[in-house]
């Protein structure tokens, strides 16, 4: 049993957590862009051991843009309804 229960259930609509990427030109930030995030549905939850032998939850997600599910660490994913809030928080963190 992992130390934390899974935050997601099979069938939940999720998105990739927003990440701010800065472009730098001559040592000055030129533009901040968000990575393109995908939207999909959780189809399965797996538990794996990390290199410290602690259990971590991984999600199998069927992305809307892909034909086959892919595996992602739980902390890299957010609920679809929280996406806009997290995106605004990431913008404010950059300044």
52-73 per-position pLDDT tens digit: 998 888 999 999 888 899 999 8
- For 32, 61, 63, 64, 94, the CA distances from 72, given in Å and listed in that order, are 25, 7, 11, 15, 25
pLDDT bucket at 4, cuts 50 / 70 / 90: low
For residue 43, the enclosing domain spans 13-94
Higher-confidence position of 2 and 11? 11
Q: How confident is the model at residue 2 (pLDDT cuts 50, 70, 90)?
A: very low
The answer to whether residue 82 is domain-embedded is yes
pLDDT band at 44 (very low <50, low <70, confident <90, very high): very high
Domain count, the chain: 1
Report yes or no on 4 lying in a domain.
Answer: no
Output the pLDDT for position 59: 92
Query: Does some domain include residue 60?
Result: yes
Tell how strand 20-25 and strand 28-34 pair up.
Answer: antiparallel
Rounded to two decimals, what is the model's pTM? 0.69
């Amino acid at each position: 049993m992992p130390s934390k229960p899974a935050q997601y259930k099979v069938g939940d609509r999720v998105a990739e957590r927003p990440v701010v990427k800065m472009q730098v030109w001559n040592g000055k930030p030129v533009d901040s862009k968000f990575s393109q995030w995908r939207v999909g549905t959780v189809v399965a939850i797996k538990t794996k051991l990390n290199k410290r032998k602690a259990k971590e939850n991984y999600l199998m997600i069927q992305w809307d843009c892909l034909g086959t599910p892919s595996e992602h660490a739980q902390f890299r994913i957010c609920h679809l309804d929280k996406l806009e809030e997290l995106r605004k928080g990431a913008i404010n963190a950059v300044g």
